[in-house]
Structure 1
């Protein structure tokens, strides 16, 4: 004969499990905000007299207190922590603009039949920076038949802090094309 206590316990556990499975989900609600809260709020109306070239030189000289921590770093580490142009680059761009304008400054390179954009910056990803925030945009790249090298950095005009940046190296595929002689033979 089966134990009635085990059967009752099994039924309770089964009922509880079934009720958990079929129960109504609970969702947390937040009150919608009319304004987005940004770590770096809009400042497009403020006037900053410093030019992009002046900022770039001050950055290289570690003039600002926010960059002083890099003084003790080795040169190689400094070049990755603070933006530096690629020495034999094809293009160097230095601009002061609004953060939302950065998305339009992508360069398209081709690797075989694949088009690649760099830097592929999605401003919606950087939700701490207001689209109407003034930034310095630095971009340096070298594009050859064999490789693409690129670096970019975005610094906040007001705080002088880097808000985004990166670098890439992409070797390109060597696609050999069939060559034909004058009669069309390989």
Structure 2
């Protein structure tokens, strides 16, 4: 036979635990900060003499230590794990329809989308949401590189955003989209 004391003790523990779970929630108060801490803070007032074309050439020549380190890490990876070097260290597509090189503020990038159609829907590319990149101040100077080829059969594109001050890549990527236009029979 079970001990009535143990049964009442377990019932008390269970009811106390349940009351703690279902009790009033506790909220902590924090003081709202007027200043957002960015990994890459605003620098729109600073003057950087390097042009976007000079930076692009320095990138291709792997002139800066940050790019040399990136290239060394790339070379050390096994071939099957290596991404395309032209994406890691941006390179314009040789047969591109359009190549864009701009030095601008990070918040100005959203306006540089190109609208493509796969035959069914229209899509912007690159679709860069600056709110997604919360480590970069909207008032941060960046280099924006964008290269794409748009034909009747396909769309290929790649882009990269580099910080003007640190020379680090902030964002980048590439896409391939075959087009499936429906012909009239």
Same fold (TM over 0.5): yes
TM-score (norm 2): 0.87
Asked if the contact 2:120–2:181 (Cα under 8 Å) also holds between the matched residues in 1, the reply is no
Deviation at 1:6, TM superposition (A): 4.7
**Contact 2:153/2:178, CA 8 A, preserved across alignment:** yes
* Residue correspondences, number: 178
Tell me how far apart the structure 2 counterparts of residues 3 and 76 of structure 1 sit (CA, whole Å): 68
For 1:76 and 1:121, how far apart are their aligned partners in 2? Answer: 21
Equivalent in the alignment of 1:102: 109
- Corresponding position of 2:27: 27
Q: Which runs of 5+ in 2 are unaligned?
A: 76-81
Q: Give the unaligned 5+ runs of structure 1.
A: 179-186
* Moved >3 Å (runs of 4+): 70-77
Question: Residue in 2 aligned with 1:156?
Answer: 163
Alignment partner, residue 90 of structure 2: 83
- Give 1:155 deviation, angstroms: 0.5
Q: Is the 8 A contact 1:102 1:121 kept in 2?
A: yes
CA deviation after TM superposition for structure 1 residue 10, in Å: 4.3
Partner of residue 45, structure 2:
45
Structure label with greater radius of gyration:
1
Whether the aligned pair in 2 keeps the contact of 1:70 and 1:78 (CA below 8 Å) is: no
In structure 1, the residue matched to 2:143 is 136
TM-score, length of structure 1 as denominator length: 0.87
More divergent stretch after superposition (169-178 vs 42-51) = 169-178
